[in-house]
Chain A
Amino acid sequence: MVIKKVTEKEKNIRANIRAKNESVIKVEDVYKIYKLDGIEVRALDGVSFDVKKGEYISIMGPSGSGKTTLLDALSTMMNPTSGNIFIEGKNTTAMSPSELAAFRGNKIGFIFQTFNLLPKLSALENVMVPMWINNYPRNLRKKTATEVLEKVGLGDRLHNRPNQMSGGQRQRVAIARALALNPNIIVADEPTGNLDSKSGKNVMELLRKLNEEGKTIVLVTHDLNLGETTDRQIYIKDGKIVSKREDAFGNRFK
């Protein structure tokens, strides 16, 4: 997969801008500990980091490293065993499940590896799902959904069902759904994992475009090439953040 890499100069310019921005996501000493057959498993073992407004970062690590758990925690899908997670200044670990659901629905857009579209609904109806869940004004739903689908290049596929579309198109419907309520944060879990390289490249370009428009994006991947197209990488291994990619992945990719 050939994806345009951001030059060092561009990265520096962005980094300088961001340094002045406030944190959109603040992960503070987060632990997630499971008991599995009586054995303690530390999926997250004291993780702390910040994501600034408008940043495009990737969380990378081999399978079993805890990156998915970290994504679940920072996207408020899962409560950590201890530690705090602040999204746009609000401590999500202190919220009730209902508050959390509403908060998540409006603040975070999700993109999944397996798209998670509803198979019997058209592209338009799929994009409208978060709208009825989050009580978006009824009379604006169709218009807004059409707009976001046009934005991802599917203006001519509004009434197609997922099984009438290619994988790349499906993922773009999913991206349109993530944008439906115009959240500031997008989390993408292996968004190209089920796509061929050309569709994958399209999706990555779309994410870059969204970032340039001001969205904060957190990408989770085990694919180094993909992860390193983002502005900043967080490497994770055995539930801990490590500073270098070699610490996470070994020397395989040297």
Chain B
Amino acid sequence: MPIDTIFEAIKNLRREGIKTFLTLLGVVIGIMAIVSLASIGAGLSESVTAQFEELGSNTIFIIPSGMGVAKISLTQNDIRNVENIIGVKSVVPIYSTQAKMEFNGKKINVSVNAVEEDKSDLFGGTGYFEVGEGRNFSKNESSSILVGNKIGKDYFDKEINIRKQILINDVAFKVIGILEAQPASFGGAPNSSSVVYMSYEGFKKITDKTDATIIFASSQFKDETSDVAEKIKDYFDKKYGEESVTVSASEQLLDQINVMLGMITLFIMGIGAISLVVGGVGIMNAMLTSVLQRTKEIGTYKALGATSQKILAIFLIEAGLIGLIGGIIGIIFGYATASLIAYIGTESGFALNAIMTSDIIITSLLFSMTIGIVAGILPAIRAANLDPVEALRFE
């Protein structure tokens, strides 16, 4: 029996051609919006997670609170004190400053990041950057620099090549490598394409600044990371006051970012869901019109032996099918849209990624079908309750 009813519902939808198409459209747009956002959201969360995994899960970030307008600095004294906290395996301060860069007769301002020489592989190891042309630092290279892709290719009239001499704050440096172009990323790593990297020895030549911008500490044991982070936080709280320095273990930070991302995704998906509800109203409207138009047909069905339940089933299945088919098409178009957004985003420098999970598929299909069926209830009941005699002679 249900098979017949489903076939009949499909036939009815096909007969209605353009009307079915327009009704479908409402659902397709809603599901498309939700799926594309969910897909981008899942992609973001995945790439953030991947970045953190590269950093290693025993990493602890120490950053003065109030990025950019931080009230306190991380002094050399602080660095030593953190190193002496029990459980801390290593401490890597990152120094940064703004400096004047001169090449080919033109001066521009650049950000300079530096790390102590013996810790310079930290950059490479964390995915902070990848050297494209040239090579990474080796020992005793206080006069070498790596230049970001943009600086190398776009900032000056002439391209910067490796082995070129460059002045930074009037100190001469040799370019040993150009960094790979890198999309902007979430989760900490600054955009490396407009930054110059050098060793801390070199850094001391161009500025008097000895305070670190960020300190990466790592714990001796992975499962102690939170405890060690807590001890570091106590040290800074005591020295500078509560909340003056943000100390977070990479996993905590990842969780926080994912929670935030999830909330943003959910919020935007909620907006998508509203459009789906509008799609549902469209289904209801179409089904009500259909019941009116097919009153005589319903009367005929009843004369030919159809029970009210069967009429109810036909209309509910039709509405459910609109939801389901709209959902399927919406998922396909939604994923296509997400891929397109991700492509455009990546091209223009944002690390976006479209991901399709079975969760997204199942949830959106259930949602669209439910919307269809719920929207179909009222019209279906109306159809089922039609008086056979009146319906049969309806003109």
A residues in contact (CB < 8 Å) with B: 72, 75, 77-78, 97-98, 101-102, 104-106, 110, 112, 116, 118, 120-121, 129-130, 132-135, 138, 177
How far is B7's CA from A101's CA once the two chains are assembled, in angstroms?
21
Residue contact B297 to A118, C-beta cutoff 8 Å: yes
Residues of A within 8 A of B304 (CB): 105, 110, 129-130, 133-134, 177
Whether the Cβ atoms of B307 and A102 lie closer than 8 Å is yes
Q: Does B392 contact A (CB under 8 A)?
A: yes
- Complex Cα distance, B389 from A106, in Å, reads 18
B305 touches A132 (CB 8 A): no
Is the pair A132, B303 in contact by a Cβ cutoff of 8 Å? no
A77 pairs with B302, CB closer than 8 A: yes
Cross-chain pairs A/B with CB under 8 angstroms, 12 sampled: A77-B389, A78-B388, A101-B307, A110-B303, A112-B300, A116-B297, A129-B300, A129-B304, A130-B305, A132-B4, A132-B5, A132-B8
Bound form: Cα–Cα A17–B306 in Å: 35
User: Cβ of B15 and Cβ of A120 under 8 Å apart?
Assistant: yes
Residue of A nearest to B17 (CB): A120
Q: Is B296 among interface residues, defined by CB-CB distance under 8 A?
A: yes
Closest to A181 in B: B305
From A72, A133, A138, contact of B310 by CB (8 A) = A133
Give complex CA distance A177, B301 in Å.
12
Instruction: Identify the closest chain A residue to B387 (Cβ).
Output: A78
Residue contact B306 to A98, C-beta cutoff 8 Å = no
Shortest distance between the CB of B312 and any CB in chain A (Å): 12
A120 to B16, CA, bound (A): 9
Provide the residues of chain B in CB contact with A116, threshold 8 Å.
Answer: 296-297, 299-300, 303, 392
Q: Which of B7, B296, B297, B300 contacts A132 (CB 8 A)?
A: B7
Residue B98 at the chain A interface, CB threshold 8 Å = no
Given A98-B309, A102-B307, A133 and B301 contact (CB-CB distance below 8 Å): yes
Interface residues of chain B: helix, strand, loop or mixed (majority): helix
CB proximity of A70 to chain B, nearest CB, Å: 12
> Using a Cβ–Cβ cut-off of 8 Å, how many residues does chain B contribute to the interface with A?
24
A78 touching B303, Cβ below 8 Å: no
Known: A105-B305, A121-B11. 11 other contacts (CB 8 A): A77-B302, A77-B389, A77-B392, A78-B389, A98-B307, A101-B302, A101-B306, A116-B296, A132-B4, A132-B5, A134-B305
* A75→B5 CA distance, assembly (Å): 25
CB distance from B148 to the nearest CB of A (A): 66
Closest Cβ of chain B to A228, distance in Å, is 25
Q: Inside 8 A of A78's CB, which chain B residues have their CB?
A: 388-389
**A104 CA to B304 CA in the complex, in Å?**
7
- Report yes or no: B389 in contact with A72, Cβ–Cβ below 8 A: yes
Contact A102 B389 (CB under 8 A): no
Which of A98, A118, A121, A177 has the most chain B CB atoms inside 10 A of its CB? A118
Residue of B nearest to A75 (CB): B303
| B308 contacts chain A at the CB level, 8 A cutoff | yes
Residue contact A104 to B303, C-beta cutoff 8 Å: yes
Residue in A104, A118, A120 whose beta carbon sits within 8 Å of that of B305 in the complex: A104
Which of A120, A121, A129 contacts B301, CB < 8 Å?
A129
In this complex, what residue of A is CB-closest to B8? A132
Question: Does B1 make an interface contact (CB < 8 A)?
Answer: yes
Q: Which residues of A contact B299 (CB under 8 A)?
A: 116
Interface positions of B from 1 to 53, Cβ below 8 Å from A: 1, 4-5, 7-8, 11, 15
Report B278-306 CB contacts with A as 1/0, cut-off 8 Å.
00000000000000000011011111111
Cross-chain contact B305 with A102 (CB below 8 angstroms): yes
Pairs A-B, 8 closest by C-beta atoms: A105-B305, A132-B4, A120-B15, A130-B304, A101-B307, A116-B300, A98-B307, A133-B306
Residues of B within 8 A of A105 (CB): 304-306
Main secondary structure of the interface of A (DSSP, over half): helix
Q: How far is the CB of A242 from chain B (nearest CB, A)?
A: 24
Give the complex CA separation of A77 and B300 in angstroms.
11
Q: In the complex, how many angstroms separate the beta carbon of A138 from the nearest chain B beta carbon?
A: 8
Q: Which residue of A lies closest to B304 (CB)?
A: A130
* Contact (A77, B388) CB under 8 Å given A106-B305, A110-B304: yes
- A120 partner residues in chain B, CB cutoff 8 A: 15
A53 CA / B327 CA spacing, docked (Å): 55
B299, closest chain A residue (CB)? A116
Within 8 A of A (CB), among B300-334: 300-310
Q: How far is the CB of A83 from chain B (nearest CB, A)?
A: 17
Complexed CA–CA distance, A135 and B310 (Å): 12
Chain B residue with the shortest CB-CB distance to A98: B307
Separation of A78 and B302 alpha carbons in the complex (Å): 11
Is A97 a contact of B305 with CB atoms below 8 Å? no
Please indicate the chain A residues that have their CB under 8 angstroms from the CB of B297 in the complex. 116, 118
A120 to B10, CA, bound (A): 13
How far apart are A218's CB and chain B's nearest CB, in angstroms?
14
Residues of chain A within 8 A of B308, CB atoms compared: 97-98, 101
- The 8 A CB mask of B380-395 against A (1 = contact, 0 = none) is 0000000011001000
* Alpha-carbon distance A166/B300, docked complex (angstroms): 20
Query: Once the chains bind, are B1 and A135 in contact (CB under 8 Å)?
Result: yes
Rounded to whole angstroms, the CA-CA distance of A133 and B308 in the bound complex is: 11
- The CA of A159 and the CA of B10, in the complex, are separated in Å by 19
Question: How would residues 180 to 191 of chain B score, 1 for a CB under 8 Å from any chain A CB and 0 otherwise?
Answer: 000000000000
Chain A residues with CB below 8 A from B15, complex form:
120
Least CB separation from A132: chain B residue:
B4
Complex: chain A residue closest to B297, CB-CB = A118
Report whether A112 and B307 are in contact in the complex, using a CB–CB cutoff of 8 Å.
Answer: no
Residues in chain B near residue A98, CB distance under 8 A: 307-309
Give every chain B residue within 8 A of A110 (Cβ-Cβ).
303-304
CA distance A118 to B388 in the complex (A): 16
- B388 adjacent to A112 (CB under 8 Å): no
When C-beta atoms are compared, the residue in chain A nearest to B388 turns out to be A77
- Chain B residues with Cβ below 8 Å from A138 are 4
Q: In whole angstroms, what is the CA distance A120 to B388 when docked?
A: 21
Cα A135 to Cα B306 in complex, Å, equals 10
Q: How far is the CB of A116 from chain B (nearest CB, A)?
A: 4
CA distance A112 to B297 in the complex (A): 12
